[in-house]
Structure formats: C-alpha cells, structure tokens
C-alpha cells in the first residue's frame, strides 16, 4: 500500500517527500485528472492525498470518483497556501495518518 500526493505547490511536495510520500505537481484540471487516473492504474497506490486548491478546481470529477470508486481513497489535505491553515497542519496530518513524528 502506497500513498500518492497530487499538489499545486512545491512546499507540500517537499514536506510530504520528507515523510516518504511521493507526488506530482498539477496546475490545471487536465493535469489533476491525469494524475488521479495514473494513480488509479497503479495497483499499489491505496491513498491519494490532494490539496484543497486542486479539489476545488476539479470538485465534480473528484467527488464522482469518491462516490463510485473503491480504490484509491482520495483524501483532501490543506497546504501551506490554504486559507486558515495552521503552520503545522501538514505535519499533524502526517503524524495522524501514518504515526510518524516529525
């Protein structure tokens, strides 16, 4: 079982990479859809982490996948540019999700 990150900024990619989670950068709805479809085709990807901005960009596509697809689990996470996000929110998500203390 692997995690896969789809992010719109480098800070989130680097932070998650430090926790052992690989990812891809996406800036357009087409890139987000391609990244999600690539993750679905990869058998060992069980959880896709995707930043709030990208979820908002492709909300209908993502919510359709969440309601119809059994794998992978798609989890929306805040990033460093999210409004109202705390300084350590990504660290908290990593700690809660995989039990790793950074």
Domain spanning 2-98: CATH superfamily: ATPase, V1 complex, subunit F (3.40.50.10580)
CB distance 21 to 4 below 8 Å: yes
pLDDT tens profile 22-51 = 999 999 999 999 999 999 999 899 999 999
Domain extents for the chain? 2-98
pTM of the model: 0.77
pLDDT tens profile 41-89 = 998 999 999 999 999 999 999 989 888 888 899 998 886 666 655 556 6
Distance CA 75, CA 33 (A): 15
């Amino acid at each position: 079982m692997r995690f896969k990150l789809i992010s719109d900024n480098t800070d989130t990619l680097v932070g998650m990479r430090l926790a052992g989670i690989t990812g891809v950068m996406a800036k357009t709805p087409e890139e987000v859809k391609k990244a999600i479809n690539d993750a679905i085709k990869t058998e060992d990807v069980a959880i896709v982490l995707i930043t709030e901005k990208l979820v908002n960009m492709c909300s209908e596509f993502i919510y359709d996948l969440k309601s119809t697809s059994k794998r992978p689990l798609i989890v929306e996470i805040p990033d460093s540019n999210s409004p109202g996000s705390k300084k350590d929110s990504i660290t908290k998500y990593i700690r809660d999700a995989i039990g790793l203390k950074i």
